A and B are shown apart, each in its own frame.
Chain A
């Protein structure tokens, strides 16, 4: 048997150890072959496994190991050299693959480990996200609650509803046991329980405001957990249960005055209310952070809502006040209007109704004077006349004064002779003065212009009044009247600091001083002199009569003339001096924009003043036409008469020097005729002078006449003298502008 080239195993195969080895090898091979099968099966099942190549390697390694052990089985008995060769090859291969696998695993195992770490990490992350989700959800819920609460709170502007709603909604949202609001009292030293959730009518518990726990809550803008035992939390009557957790938050009470437009108030307000919230006592609930945040937000919203309500209340109160004031003002205005209307009616009545009988009385008394009377009768008539003159003056004065005060009085400016005014005053006052044996002297400065522009009538009235007063209050002595042009240094009088006259080229200031040696005036009475109806109390003045209006009217006239009037006196018995300054215009011939005025005295010519003057008269009314013709014929004119405007235009020629036309002609306007005539005669010296004859001289008629280029207006009815003077003026100046 040696020649079979077999290899003998070292140990006999029947040895027990050999037998065990044989069995073990068999099972090893079995296991090693089944593992890869399992691997392949499971890997095929899961598609995810990334390390296929490793598996293949591993599988190869296992298979070869298994093969090795399998082949080892044959080496237990006698085996040929081929088997040994196969065995050796298998072992070599196995060695190679296993080394390769070992090397591979060095790379692979850290990777596998890191996979595990990543898995752990992802799990943590997921847990965290879950937690955050939970948080967000609770926040969103809180937000929803807040929105709903705010909506409820802000849907009303009534303070009580706001607060009640707040408590109710909070109670519902947070499932509170009790919720209460403590408001500061008026004094600000205590907090009073104002609203609660469960109790209907909170009896007025009060708590002093300076408790440490309250201070703590007030000083923080967050909700603060407080002990259930502190006084603000002891709202419910003491029960058996342990009270739940309590939280308190401050509610700022913003005042109206805190709202400036430009800077929002820092919460420097001192007034807070306290809101106390209690969880149910039998649950083990705790205050969560999000619930506290909810409470804080609600507290702020309540503050805003309350301030809105306060603003609304305030504005409603202001509006009511304004309405009341409005009504009162309206009433006052209507009363004032009624008063003004009553006064105007009264004045109107006074004006007409009182003047008419006055006029009759005065006229008839003067007529009576002219007749034959016995001396007693004459005395009686004179007394009647004097009294009625006085009364007439009084009426005029009062009416003048009220018109002056109205502001409706306007000066009638005109050129007048200043010297003549003074002379007239002197003439008027001389009789009375000589009766009282007073000596009156007039001094006119040499530089005083002879003519001036101003209101002649009222200036005379003023001078007369002042001089009259001087005469009235002097029993003996002399009166001196001085008039001169006020120079600029003298204009600024230290006694009248508020009067600053400024002379100019067209104006000068007339200064008049009236000095008398009469009873004088005491210094304390001087300011009252110019007030209406005030008179000094001495008997002398009482008897002199007068209404006390004179000086008041003078003052107003002087003011209208942009001047100043005042009285100086050294005391009772020392006489007094009345001084006034008024602004008058200086007339210049070239400077006058207005049309020249008619001279006051009509020149008296002979009956045939205008021989052969060709005149055209246009009047529709036969009678009035005839009268006008009669007038003109009497004055020597050659009169052509026409009764219609067409005829007038046809007949008018350059021979006619004057055309009189009635402008009240219906149909074609007299004005149009004037325009046509103006058009017809282009050269001014060929054109006849056009004069309107009319029954009314209101402003409109005057303006219309001026507008169409008429040269004058005459008011019907015309007297002979008037016609004469009108014609002479027209022919001299070629322009008239009004003759009444």
Chain B
């Protein structure tokens, strides 16, 4: 039981720190609320889908921005739009913020700015992926120890 409590406390603290540091926002909490006995892995599924999407979109954008002759800003913009949508659906606040800045650079057709933003997005995305993976591992550990995942309000 101590182990479970400890793990649960760790989980709560970690979750709170993610929220505090701005990696996640309220939307993620909502998602967590949707998880119940009928869909026990809802959040993990959504997160995996998000990571897949992210990688695909980032690759698309990198390829489009690498073009030496004529960058197709419209394509880049469409990808950023998708990414923004996905990140706001999952509650990835920092990724979403970078996407907003990214979009304005796309509108201004500023290649340098876009490249910078792409770097930032990649960075944020990898950070978030690590953090979420840690969070999910904690969850697994709690479940394996026989406890239940505490609800963070």
Q: How far is the CB of A226 from chain B (nearest CB, A)?
A: 90
- Distance between Cα atoms of A662 and B38 in the complex (Å): 26
Q: Which residues of chain B have C-beta atoms less than 8 A from A623's C-beta? A: 46, 49-50, 53, 85-87, 89-90
Q: Do A717 and B88 form a contact, CB below 8 Å, given A622-B49, A623-B50, A626-B45?
A: yes
| A630 interface contact, C-beta 8 A | yes
- Distance between Cα atoms of A695 and B91 in the complex (Å): 14
| B36 interface contact, C-beta 8 A | yes
Determine the residue in chain B with the shortest Cβ distance to A722: B30
- Distance between Cα atoms of A662 and B84 in the complex (Å): 14
Q: Which residues of chain B have C-beta atoms less than 8 A from A627's C-beta? A: 27, 31, 46, 89-90
Q: How far is the CB of A461 from chain B (nearest CB, A)?
A: 29
Q: Which residues of chain B have C-beta atoms less than 8 A from A271's C-beta? A: none
Q: Which residues of chain B have C-beta atoms less than 8 A from A662's C-beta? A: 85
Determine the residue in chain A with the shortest Cβ distance to B82: A621
Q: Do A717 and B30 form a contact, CB below 8 Å, given A621-B86, A623-B53, A627-B89?
A: yes
Which A residues, 600 to 636, have Cβ-Cβ distances below 8 Å to chain B?
Answer: 620-624, 626-628, 630-631, 633-634
On chain B, the number of residues with a Cβ less than 8 Å from chain A's Cβ atoms is 26
| A716 interface contact, C-beta 8 A | yes
- Distance between Cα atoms of A623 and B85 in the complex (Å): 8
- Distance between Cα atoms of A330 and B36 in the complex (Å): 70
Q: Which residues of chain A have C-beta atoms less than 8 A from B85's C-beta? A: 621, 623-624, 662, 664, 695, 716
Q: Which residues of chain A have C-beta atoms less than 8 A from B84's C-beta? A: 695
Which B residues, 11 to 45, have Cβ-Cβ distances below 8 Å to chain A?
Answer: 26-27, 30-31, 33-34, 36, 38-39, 42, 45
Q: Which residues of chain B have C-beta atoms less than 8 A from A664's C-beta? A: 81, 85
| B127 interface contact, C-beta 8 A | no
Determine the residue in chain A with the shortest Cβ distance to B81: A664
| A421 interface contact, C-beta 8 A | no
| B78 interface contact, C-beta 8 A | yes
| A666 interface contact, C-beta 8 A | yes
**Do most interface residues of chain B lie in helix, strand or loop, or is the interface mixed?**
helix
Q: How far is the CB of B57 from chain A (nearest CB, A)?
A: 10
Q: Which residues of chain A have C-beta atoms less than 8 A from B89's C-beta? A: 621, 623-624, 626-628, 716-717
In the complex the two chains form, is B86's CB within 8 Å of A622's CB? yes
| A427 interface contact, C-beta 8 A | no
| A201 interface contact, C-beta 8 A | no
- Distance between Cα atoms of A719 and B85 in the complex (Å): 15
Q: Which residues of chain B have C-beta atoms less than 8 A from A628's C-beta? A: 89
In the complex the two chains form, is B38's CB within 8 Å of A633's CB? yes
In the complex the two chains form, is A634's CB within 8 Å of B88's CB? no
Over the window 629-646 of chain A, the binary record of Cβ atoms lying under 8 Å from chain B Cβ atoms (1 yes, 0 no) is 011011000000000000
Q: How far is the CB of B128 from chain A (nearest CB, A)?
A: 13
- Distance between Cα atoms of A662 and B34 in the complex (Å): 21
Over the window 75-100 of chain B, the binary record of Cβ atoms lying under 8 Å from chain A Cβ atoms (1 yes, 0 no) is 00010011011111111000000000
Q: Which residues of chain A have C-beta atoms less than 8 A from B78's C-beta? A: 666
Q: Which residues of chain A have C-beta atoms less than 8 A from B33's C-beta? A: 634, 720
Over the window 653-668 of chain A, the binary record of Cβ atoms lying under 8 Å from chain B Cβ atoms (1 yes, 0 no) is 0000000001010100
- Distance between Cα atoms of A142 and B87 in the complex (Å): 103
Q: Which residues of chain A have C-beta atoms less than 8 A from B27's C-beta? A: 627, 717, 719
- Distance between Cα atoms of A685 and B38 in the complex (Å): 32
Q: Do A634 and B36 form a contact, CB below 8 Å, given A621-B82, A621-B89, A622-B86?
A: yes
Which A residues, 363 to 422, have Cβ-Cβ distances below 8 Å to chain B?
Answer: none
Q: Which residues of chain B have C-beta atoms less than 8 A from A633's C-beta? A: 34, 38-39
Which A residues, 64 to 78, have Cβ-Cβ distances below 8 Å to chain B?
Answer: none
Q: Which residues of chain A have C-beta atoms less than 8 A from B50's C-beta? A: 623
Q: Which residues of chain A have C-beta atoms less than 8 A from B88's C-beta? A: 624, 695, 716-717
Q: How far is the CB of A622 from chain B (nearest CB, A)?
A: 5
Which one of A620, A621, A662, A717 has the highest number of Cβ atoms from chain B below 10 Å of its Cβ? A717
Which A residues, 220 to 250, have Cβ-Cβ distances below 8 Å to chain B?
Answer: none
Q: How far is the CB of A381 from chain B (nearest CB, A)?
A: 20
- Distance between Cα atoms of A695 and B49 in the complex (Å): 20
- Distance between Cα atoms of A44 and B134 in the complex (Å): 161
Which B residues, 63 to 80, have Cβ-Cβ distances below 8 Å to chain A?
Answer: 78
Q: How far is the CB of A740 from chain B (nearest CB, A)?
A: 14
Q: How far is the CB of B46 from chain A (nearest CB, A)?
A: 5
Q: Which residues of chain B have C-beta atoms less than 8 A from A695's C-beta? A: 84-85, 88
Determine the residue in chain B with the shortest Cβ distance to A662: B85
Other-chain contact of B34, A634, A666, A717 (Cβ < 8 Å): A634
Q: How far is the CB of B152 from chain A (nearest CB, A)?
A: 15
Q: How far is the CB of A631 from chain B (nearest CB, A)?
A: 6
Q: How far is the CB of B45 from chain A (nearest CB, A)?
A: 7
In the complex the two chains form, is B34's CB within 8 Å of A631's CB? yes
In the complex the two chains form, is A719's CB within 8 Å of B26's CB? yes
- Distance between Cα atoms of A666 and B75 in the complex (Å): 11
Q: How far is the CB of A75 from chain B (nearest CB, A)?
A: 159
Q: How far is the CB of B133 from chain A (nearest CB, A)?
A: 17
Determine the residue in chain B with the shortest Cβ distance to A630: B34
In the complex the two chains form, is B86's CB within 8 Å of A630's CB? no
In the complex the two chains form, is A717's CB within 8 Å of B53's CB? no
Q: Which residues of chain A have C-beta atoms less than 8 A from B38's C-beta? A: 633
Q: Which residues of chain A have C-beta atoms less than 8 A from B26's C-beta? A: 717, 719
- Distance between Cα atoms of A458 and B86 in the complex (Å): 39
In the complex the two chains form, is A630's CB within 8 Å of B53's CB? no
Other-chain contact of B31, A621, A630, A666, A716 (Cβ < 8 Å): A630
Which one of B34, B50, B87 has the highest number of Cβ atoms from chain A below 10 Å of its Cβ? B34
Determine the residue in chain A with the shortest Cβ distance to B89: A624
- Distance between Cα atoms of A717 and B26 in the complex (Å): 9
Determine the residue in chain A with the shortest Cβ distance to B33: A720
- Distance between Cα atoms of A626 and B49 in the complex (Å): 9
Other-chain contact of A630, B46, B81, B91 (Cβ < 8 Å): B46
Q: How far is the CB of A582 from chain B (nearest CB, A)?
A: 38
Q: How far is the CB of A321 from chain B (nearest CB, A)?
A: 49
- Distance between Cα atoms of A621 and B85 in the complex (Å): 7
Q: Which residues of chain B have C-beta atoms less than 8 A from A621's C-beta? A: 53, 82, 85-86, 89
Q: How far is the CB of A73 from chain B (nearest CB, A)?
A: 154
In the complex the two chains form, is A626's CB within 8 Å of B46's CB? yes
Determine the residue in chain A with the shortest Cβ distance to B78: A666
- Distance between Cα atoms of A627 and B84 in the complex (Å): 14
Q: Which residues of chain B have C-beta atoms less than 8 A from A620's C-beta? A: 82
- Distance between Cα atoms of A634 and B34 in the complex (Å): 6
- Distance between Cα atoms of A662 and B27 in the complex (Å): 18
17 A-B pairs with C-beta separation under 8 A? A620-B82, A621-B89, A623-B49, A623-B53, A623-B87, A623-B89, A624-B88, A627-B46, A627-B89, A628-B89, A630-B31, A630-B34, A630-B42, A631-B30, A634-B33, A634-B34, A720-B33
Shortest 5 CB-CB contacts between residues of A and residues of B: A623-B86, A624-B89, A621-B85, A627-B89, A630-B34
Known: A621-B89, A623-B85, A719-B27. 17 other contacts (CB 8 A): A621-B86, A623-B49, A623-B53, A623-B86, A623-B90, A624-B86, A624-B88, A624-B89, A626-B49, A627-B27, A633-B38, A662-B85, A664-B85, A695-B84, A695-B85, A716-B85, A717-B30
